[in-house]
Copies of this chain bind each other. A is one copy, B any other.
Amino acid sequence: MAAVLQKKIRVILADDHPVVRDGLAAMVNQQPDMEVVAEAGDGEEAIALYQRHQPDVLVLDLRMPKCDGLAVVQRVLEINPKARLLIMTTYDGDEDIFQCLSHGAKGYLLKDAPRQEILSAIRAVSEDRPYTSSTVAAKALQRMAKPSLTERELDVLELVAQGRSNKDIARRLSITEGTAKTHVKSILTKLDAISRTEAVAVAHKRGLIRL
């Protein structure tokens, strides 16, 4: 077959779990049309290896030590706007999906995806075709209809999620308690929550905050 002669898809894997890297690498290297050229265990490494190897596809976990997945997406796309990124993660909050795709990632899939789906996603992305499962795409669309939080509101939200009081939040952000309350109220409205605790629950579900 002539297909065998064409260049293989060169893949870099970035995931902080050695087991996952092994699994992916085994799967990829078994395919005649693709190969793993490097593996990264954290975000910085992923960026460095991308620059050195200029792979066809970078398979990226969100949530890695040193440099969050989204930050890697941004930095890699700054370096090469045509970079082909496939996000592969366990997190299915609309915020993560929306952020990655809107920043220019070509694909997004969940770690519990079957082998075949992972491989076809890599092939799709390598040809610059977007890959998104229907459930993931649906979440991205859902998210678009929802209001975004401002940076300041995210600052406040994080503290709310830690269980801080308005007074405490005000102290930490060097603002008035009244202002903190204003931000919290705005957060409640945007997240359609009645209480701060519900806001935290919603924020968690959406992937607005971590841990």
- Stretch with Cβ within 8 A of B (4 or more), from A45-53, A130-138, A161-169: A161-169
Q: A197 at interface (Cβ–Cβ under 8 A)?
A: yes
- Band of interface residues on A: 35 or more
Contact residues of A between 12 and 63, Cβ < 8 Å to B: 16-24, 26-27
A118-B19 CB under 8 A given contacts A205-B211, A211-B204? yes
The smallest beta-carbon distance between A196 and chain B, in angstroms, is 6
Task: Identify the closest chain B residue to A118 (Cβ).
Answer: B19
With the chains together, A201 CA to B195 CA distance in Å? 15
Q: A193 at interface (Cβ–Cβ under 8 A)?
A: yes
Task: Identify the closest chain B residue to A22 (Cβ).
Answer: B23
With the chains together, A55 CA to B129 CA distance in Å? 44
Is the pair B19, A193 in contact by a Cβ cutoff of 8 Å? no
Give 1 or 0 for each of A112-155: 1 = CB within 8 Å of chain B CB.
Answer: 11110010000000000000000000000000000000000000
Q: Which of B20, B111, B161, B211 contacts A197 (CB 8 A)?
A: B161
The smallest beta-carbon distance between A149 and chain B, in angstroms, is 17
With the chains together, A194 CA to B20 CA distance in Å? 39
Q: A67 at interface (Cβ–Cβ under 8 A)?
A: no
Is the pair A201, B114 in contact by a Cβ cutoff of 8 Å? no
Is the pair B211, A18 in contact by a Cβ cutoff of 8 Å? no
Top 5 A-B pairs, shortest CB-CB distance:
A163-B198, A23-B23, A22-B23, A19-B23, A163-B197
List, sorted by A's number, 28 A–B pairs whose CB atoms are closer than 8 Å.
A16-B112, A17-B111, A18-B115, A19-B23, A19-B24, A19-B27, A19-B115, A21-B23, A22-B22, A22-B23, A22-B24, A22-B26, A22-B115, A23-B23, A23-B26, A26-B26, A162-B198, A162-B201, A163-B195, A163-B197, A163-B199, A163-B200, A163-B202, A164-B198, A165-B195, A197-B197, A200-B201, A205-B211
